[in-house]
A and B are shown apart, each in its own frame.
Chain A
Amino acid sequence: QMQLQESGSGLVKPSQTLSLICTVSDGSISNGAYSWSWIRQPPGKGLEWIGYIAHNGHIQSNPSLMTRVTLSVDRSEGQLSLKMTSVTAADTAVYYCARGDYFDLWVLGTLVTVSS
């Protein structure tokens, strides 16, 4: 049975660090057969790719966010992790993790609000 979930703080203060974990229990993170991306969507706006962890463990972030973003994977737990430092109100968004190069599986997103 597949469990898809994100966890992390829904409210983050400006200048602090946003932390999210994406857990997928069907084995598609654990087996290393797929790449997994983080994607975000500000309220009422479009989609922005944050970065990905390739099936071979290679990690790449969007150059627009690269200096603030750290991605990691714990294959034994089937979890992806996103950390974003020095957040501002512009980082308020629904954050998703999604499977593949084109995204055939999306984890229900978490709304993260940046506000004091």
Chain B
Amino acid sequence: DIQMTQSPSTLSASIGDRVTITCRASQSISSWLAWYQQKPGKAPNLVIYEASTLESGVPSTFSGSGSGTEFSLTISRMQPEDFATYYCQQYSEHPLTFGGGTKVEI
């Protein structure tokens, strides 16, 4: 199985901050990586797919980069609605696997 390692596990930020979350795969996954945002009591919501493609309706303050084994999700200016937990997920091969999550708190 491909292991996905996210860092940090928790991140404290303020409104307007630039925030970066990293995700590392245990082997190359090309660009087959997605990022999700999850708020308490809700299903995850797709933010980024194919490492850097913004899902329709997601603010342009979100961006993704990377390929191979190293990836990052950046929020250029934190807004109140961006405080949530973020997960990366590889879809290069089965079983599909997720990172452990990064909680972005105020």
Contact = CB atoms under 8 A, between A and B. Distances in A.
Interface stretch (A7-15, A16-24, A43-51): A43-51
B36 to A, nearest CB: 7
B22 interface: no
A64 B34 CA distance: 22
A40 to B, nearest CB: 11
Interface stretch (A26-34, A75-83, A85-93, A105-113): A105-113
Nearest to B94: A60
Interface string B29-49: 000101010000001111001
A46 B101 contact: yes
Contacts of B49: 102, 104
B43 A106 contact: yes
B98 A102 contact: no
A103 B89 CA distance: 9
Contacts of A101: 32, 91, 96
B99 to A, nearest CB: 8
Nearest to A103: B46
B100 interface: yes
B25 to A, nearest CB: 14
B55 interface: yes
The interface size bin for chain A is 20 to 34
Given A102-B49, A103-B34, A63 B95 contact: yes
Nearest to A37: B96
A39 to B, nearest CB: 8
Interface in B1-58: 1, 32, 34, 36, 43-46, 49-50, 55
B95 A49 contact: yes
Given A46-B87, A46-B101, A101-B91, A106 B44 contact: yes
A87 to B, nearest CB: 20
11 contacts: A46-B100, A46-B101, A47-B89, A49-B95, A52-B96, A63-B1, A98-B43, A102-B49, A102-B50, A103-B46, A104-B55
Interface of A: 37, 46-49, 52, 60, 62-64, 96, 98, 101-104, 106-109
